Amino acid sequence: MESNMDLINKLNRQHQLNSDEWGELLRCNDEKVAKYAEQVAREQAKKIFGNKIYVRGLIEISNYCKNNCFYCGIRRGNTSVERYRLTKEQILACAEEGYALGFRTFVLQGGEDAAFTDVWMCDVISQLRENFPDCAITLSLGERTRESYQAMYDAGANRYLLRHETADKYHYEKLHPEEMSFEHRMECLRILKDIGYQVGCGFMVGSPGQTIASLVKDMELITKLQPEMVGIGPFVPHHATPFAKEEQGTVRQTLYLLSLIRILKPDVLLPATTSLGTIDPRGREKGILAGANVLMPNLSPTAVRKQYELYDNKICTGDEAAECRNCLENRVKAIGYELVVDRGDAPSFQ
Ligand code: 5AD
Ligand code: FES
């Protein structure tokens, strides 16, 4: 049997493992192995990105959602959350503010809000494209039709984030009500790739029912799909969801997975997420040191921030965009990295 260190070296050489090897590596809970993975991951990230950390300005455009995912605080079944939807003018104003702070990527994220017709979205996207021609426009609006994805791409969107949530159909069904389908999620990711978007998939670490076998499938999906970005962060319970009493994901497992994903796909864009920063005050710094190279501070108007609470105790809900930008700048500097303001396209797309 190869040692886990050998498996990390093998992953670093071949950028793939078979499912038994993945199982072995993912089951491992040895701090020495995690440290080794972190060291290899950080070396790989440094080789490709130097000490640069990309920032993406996140604009949470609506917390209306027609879905009822068991883990999510803005599920339609949560009647205790006050719903909001930004106007086009508000979205453009957020982008304006972000642009002035140096952001060159905007991420429009929202629940699956029926008010976001293709016409409405394309109008916002083309206005952003016109006002900020040097910026990348990223969308994170869930599952839509091919026609819709295509129209938004044609209007000027470049990237799309759609976490697959889990690559294990059985697990997917534990996280979502019956009306949602694993196959449809996968189909959406394939369509997005096919259209030409830079695509991000991803999953929560430690979500209820997640097993080593489901994580193996996540790694295999990443290997097969070759996404430009992978977003992972710990599952954090939200008090008004069916998963309120479930256990939170751990910092340790999140960091280990970040490192393994970096080694699997050295040039991938890998954010140190807000959820990681929520469960550990130094979570994002630790994420960067484990191989992450992207931060996604919030540009949403502070008046609505609290309402976009996917999980409890989300950080930065009271801070102005400029405060977060400065805060992040100081945090990355303190660990020897620097924030950069360019678009930061995936190396494979340049
Ligand atoms: N804890 C952590 N992450 C969550 N997300 C949704 N709910 C939670 C939660 N309770 C993640 C999902 C979704 C992304 C926008 O936020 O993975 O795709
Ligand atoms: Fe928002 Fe630190 S990143 S206050």
The residue assigned the tokens 């089951």 is: 27
Give the pTM: 0.97
The residue assigned the tokens 């369509």 is: 191
Neighbours of 236 (CB within 10 A): 24
Residues 201-255: tens digit of each pLDDT = 999 999 999 999 999 999 999 999 999 999 999 999 999 999 999 999 999 999 9
Q: Which residues pair with 295 in a beta bridge?
A: 55
Q: Which ligand is nearest to the CA of 300?
A: 2
CA–centroid distance for 319 within its chain: 21
Distance 323 CA to ligand 2 centre (A): 6
Nearest to 65 by CA among 308, 306, 297: 308
Q: What percentage of residues in the chain have a pLDDT greater than 90? A: 95
CA distance 260 to 138: 25
Residues 26-37: tens digit of each pLDDT = 999 999 999 999
In sequence order, what E strands does the chain have?
A: 52-55, 57-62, 105-110, 136-140, 159-161, 198-205, 229-234, 294-295, 338-340
Distance 204 CA to ligand 1 centre (A): 7
Structure letter (DSSP) for residue 241: S
State if residue 176 touches ligand 1 by the CB under 6 angstroms criterion. Answer: no
What does the radius of gyration of the chain's CA atoms come to, in whole angstroms?
19
Q: What stretches of 204-246 show up as alpha helix (H) in DSSP?
A: 212-225
Q: Which ligand is nearest to the CA of 282?
A: 2
Cα→Cα distances 308→59, 143, 285, 302, 317, Å: 10, 19, 23, 11, 9
Q: Which residues pair with 271 in a beta bridge?
A: 294
Helix axes 118-131, 88-100, angle to 10 degrees: 30
Ligand 2 atom closest to residue 328's alpha carbon, by position in its atom list:
3
Q: What stretches of 28-145 show up as alpha helix (H) in DSSP?
A: 31-49, 88-100, 118-131
Name the pLDDT band for 342 (thresholds 50, 70, 90): confident
Cα→Cα distances 251→224, 248, 277, 305, Å: 26, 9, 9, 24
The residue assigned the tokens 């949470």 is: 60
Residues 97-129: tens digit of each pLDDT = 999 999 999 999 999 999 999 999 999 999 999
Testing ligand 1's pocket by substitution, the residue of 72, 75, 210 carrying the most ligand atoms inside 8 A of its CB is 72
State if residue 185 touches ligand 1 by the CB under 6 angstroms criterion. Answer: no
**Using an 8 Å Cβ cutoff, are 52 and 249 in contact?**
no
Please give the domain boundaries of the chain with CATH numbers for all domains.
33-344 (3.20.20.70)
Pocket of ligand 2 (CB under 6 A): 297, 316, 319, 323-324, 327-328
Distance 165 CA to ligand 1 centre (A): 8
Amino acid making up residue 195: I
Cα→Cα distances 328→53, 81, 220, 277, Å: 10, 29, 32, 11
Ligand 1 atom closest to residue 202's alpha carbon, by position in its atom list:
17
Nearest to 326 by CA among 339, 336, 309: 339
Distance 339 CA to ligand 2 centre (A): 14
Distance 324 CA to ligand 2 centre (A): 4
CA–centroid distance for 183 within its chain: 20
Distance 317 CA to ligand 2 centre (A): 9
Backbone dihedral angles phi then psi of residue 138, each to the nearest 5 degrees:
-110, 140
Q: Which ligand is nearest to the CA of 204?
A: 1
Q: What stretches of 101-145 show up as alpha helix (H) in DSSP?
A: 118-131
CA distance 172 to 285: 30
**Using an 8 Å Cβ cutoff, are 149 and 160 in contact?**
yes
Residue closest by Cα to atom 4 of ligand 2: 324
Residue closest by Cα to atom 2 of ligand 1: 235
Distance 108 CA to ligand 2 centre (A): 19
pLDDT score, position 1 = 54
Distance 72 CA to ligand 1 centre (A): 6
Tokens of 273: 């997420």
Testing ligand 2's pocket by substitution, the residue of 284, 327, 339 carrying the most ligand atoms inside 8 A of its CB is 327
Q: Which ligand is nearest to the CA of 172?
A: 1
In terms of residues, how long is the chain?
A: 350
In the predicted model, is pLDDT for residue 350 greater than 80?
no
The residue assigned the tokens 């995936």 is: 346
In the predicted model, is pLDDT for residue 168 greater than 70?
yes
Give 346 or 96, the one with higher predicted confidence: 96
Name the pLDDT band for 346 (thresholds 50, 70, 90): confident
